[in-house]
Structures are given as C-alpha cells and as structure tokens.
Amino acid sequence: MKDKLLTYCNPLSIPNIPRGKDEWYTVEDKMFSHENKPNFIKTPDYRSISDPTVFYYDNKWYMYPSYGMAWVSEDFVNWQHYRTEPYCPKYSPSIIPWKGKFLMTSWFCPLYEADTPLGPFRELGSFILPDNTEYLPCDPGIFIDDDERIYLYAFDGNNETTLIIGYELDRDNPRKIISDRHVILQLDAKNHWWERNGLHKQDDTFGWVEGPHLLKYNGRYYMIYASSNTCDSSYCLAVYYSDDTPPYGLYMSKK
C-alpha cells in the first residue's frame, strides 16, 4: 500500500569502537585518549555505546551512538559510517542545529560547535551556572523550542534517588545557564515498575532514570528516558509528556 508506514531494523557493524573507560576518564585530559589505558586500571576491557541522538537534516538521517561515531542514511537501508572529531565525547551525545551551526555535548563533556553535523567540532567550554561555576552535565540532552529558547536536560542523583533535571540556556551564548535547576522527573520505583533495578524489575526501592531526550510533536513535549540498568535485559525506555511551555512541568508518565 502506498501510504503504509514502514519499520526498519538495521543491524550495523560497529568499526573501531574504543575501549570503555569509566574507571579512568578522570585522570585524562579531556577524555580523548582511549588508547592509553593507565597501568593501575586492572578491570577487563569492554566496549559500550548508549543513549544515541538521531536527527533529520538536509534530507539525511544522522545517528550518533557514542564515542565520536556517526552513521548517515537517506533511506534507512544504506548507512555510511563516519568518525567525527573530536573522536571521543564519550556516552550520550547530543547534537542539534543552532543558528546555521551545530552544537554538541556528551557525558561530562563541555559544549562544542561545528559548521557541519559531522564536525570538526570546536570546544566552546564548560556550561556556566548562574553563580559562575562550571558545570559538566551527565547524560545531557539539548533542546531548541520553536521560539528559539534553548534547554539543557541531564541526569542527576545519588545512592538514594535518581532524577532528570532541566535548565534554560542563553539563546545567544548556549554555554550560559540562565535559570534555576528544575526537577523534571524523579525515580518512583514503588509505583513505576519499569524504573526498578533487577533482571525482573524486582527491586522496588531503587533504580535509574537517565538518558533524557526531549521531543516536541504537535505542540506536546515528550521526555523520553531510559531505565533502569544497562547490565540487565529488562532495560527499557519510557516517556513523560507535558503541554507546558517552557517544558518543565511533566504531568503524566507512560512506559
């Protein structure tokens, strides 16, 4: 049928993915030397990608999984792999068009800018909180609304609870945070079984809400997030939605 919607599933080879480095990124300069594992790190090598960004631009789909990798397609069948520069912005990359350029940030990374979706990306610097302290977000997601206001969403939490938080950014200087910290959603393991830890979602006392990505469709905001543990096959996506502007009040949740 001419109007039939098509669903695609494309297993892609992942060439040259660098080793994961959660245990040693803090001792490196800007996190870009994955090939140089310190001698004091004794954990086995592993590979990991998570929380991808996908957007449509200039009649092409751009997909960014992690670690400076990108795939580009015009038909969802044929994909071309690219290695962006800088090579390793780590997990949870967020790339969006902005004033004829492209902004990028990632897991505990500063903000970058490029002239094309694939870079090279130039470092603009850390985000700046209203008290002038620097801020590097975890699992960042940048969103530009129809009125060109810019928002930053990120993971926050501790051993007691996990959160998705949000800030508004200066539309002319997107490094600058111009709002207070807003709690968008908070872990509710007691009532939201999909947010619980465990292979069978059995832990109703703790879990993770992470990897925020804001989507706007037909005037409604959808906060897509992941839960609960990447090590379990029960890891899943969920969504909150809201009709508020700015998109801070998210009323309803849905697995």
Better-scored residue on pLDDT, 160 or 122: 122
Helix or strand or coil: residue 143?
A: strand
- Is 248 exposed, middle or buried (CB count within 10 Å of its CB: 0-12, 13-18, 19+)? middle
Stretch 159-175: mean pLDDT: 93
The pTM of the full predicted model, rounded to 2 decimals, is 0.87
47: DSSP letter: -
Q: What are phi and psi of 222, to 5 degrees?
A: -120, 115
Of the pLDDT bands very low, low, confident and very high (cuts 50, 70, 90), residue 183 is very high
Of the pLDDT bands very low, low, confident and very high (cuts 50, 70, 90), residue 253 is very low
State the Cα angle at 177 between 174 and 54, rounded to 5°.
Answer: 50
Better-scored residue on pLDDT, 120 or 14: 120
- 165, HSE (Cβ side, Cα atoms, 13 Å): 15
**Domain range annotation of the chain:** 1-125, 126-255
Domain range 126-255, its CATH number among 1.10.3720.10, 1.20.1440.230, 2.40.50.100, 2.115.10.20: 2.115.10.20
| pLDDT above 70 (res 30) | no
Stretch 193-207: mean pLDDT: 88
Task: Mean pLDDT check: name the lowest of 131-140, 210-219, 222-231.
Answer: 222-231
Most confident of the following: 78-87, 170-179, 196-205, 242-251: 170-179
Task: Mean pLDDT check: name the lowest of 10-24, 210-224, 236-250.
Answer: 10-24
Buried b vs exposed e over 92-105: b needs ≥16 C-beta within 10 Å? bbbbbebeeebbbb
- 128, HSE (Cβ side, Cα atoms, 13 Å): 10
The number of helix segments (H) and strand segments (E) in the chain equals 0, 18
Distance CA 213, CA 3 (A): 29
